[in-house]
Structure 1
Amino acid sequence: MPDFKGLNIRHHLVPGDLGQVASLHGRIYSEEHDLAIGFEAYVMECLIEFFSQYDEKKDRVWVLEEGERMVGFLVLMHRPNRMAQLRFLLLEQDYRGKGIGNELMEDWLNFYQEMNYKGAYLYTTSGQDPAVSLYEKYGFKRESTILSRYFGVPLLETLFRLKA
């Protein structure tokens, strides 16, 4: 198990987690990327989709906490045809640049391999350069990019894939 720099980590959801994840995304993406409340609503929709399909034998959550406060989150979500999706990777600003993202990605990949998934994918947007570097470091390859105004501002949405 990786050392998450003294943070508590759990792999199960408790009441309040999904709301905190949406709130973290809404606040951080507003502050750092000028995205409006529509982005938070999108995250809420995606969390509902995740939870409605959640299978503890196929999916995993990483809830990072300092004390009682959530400071990071990540999901491996099962998809059809033995595929996995990396979703909701987020760390509070004070926890970035300390190797936690690398440890999360390593743990995510270990679970992915243990579960014998055939491939994985993720979507991200422009302005996520540190995250993109992390994804590429761990083998995700850029597959396609489109220009979008889905969240109220022009963004490049990029699909990355990981081959088994």
Structure 2
Amino acid sequence: MIGNITLRPFAEADLDWLVEAHATLYARDEGFDDSFGPLVETILRRFLLEHDDVRERGWVAAHDGHRLGSIFCVESPQPSWAKLRLFLVLPQARGFGLGQHLLDTCLGFARGVGYDGMTLWTHKSHAAACALYEKNGFALEAEKPVTSFGCSLIEQTYKITF
């Protein structure tokens, strides 16, 4: 399936789809409340208005005109570090290597533009994603219990140095 999937730059026309995909999947799979979708929308609108074309990028994976996932590389508040954001693979596209392909693309971009490393924020309940991060050299830096999006969660921060 990967051979037929294209990765293209995130565009404003993808915004509503990506907000809806995140909100729907996280509500269904994690029990997130309706505060999550607006957070994703804020992140995406800020990206569209303020991102650095040279050092920040977002990708959408598509097959036959159907969007299947996304990943973003943005500048971290920590100087010379990148931050991975909005990594999503729709359920019907899982198990075919798309997550690895998206992650490889994002990491390759970050290395190529000269970041010293990358950090990401996730939840412990995302076991498959966390396993993928660890397989690719990310190390768990911190975790703490939180209440976010109407749920009790274990928030995690991962980091990789290039």
TM-score (normalizing by structure 1): 0.91
Indicate the residue corresponding to 2:22 in structure 1.
Answer: 25
Q: How many residue pairs align between the two structures?
A: 161
* Distance in 1 of aligned mates of 2:113 and 2:86: 20
Give CA deviations for 1:23-49 in whole Å, capped at 9, x if unaligned.
Answer: 110011111111111111221222233
1:30-109 equivalent positions in 2, closer than 5 A? 30-80=27-77, 81-109=79-107
Question: d(CA) in 2 for partners of 1:79 and 1:157?
Answer: 18
What's the secondary structure of 2:69's corresponding residue? strand
SS at 1:37 equivalent: coil
**1:50 Cα deviation after fit:** 2.5
Shift of 1:94: 0.8
Gaps of 5+ in 2: none
How far 1:53 sits from its partner (Å)? 2.5
Identity %: 26
Q: CA RMSD in A?
A: 1.5
TM-score by length of 2: 0.92
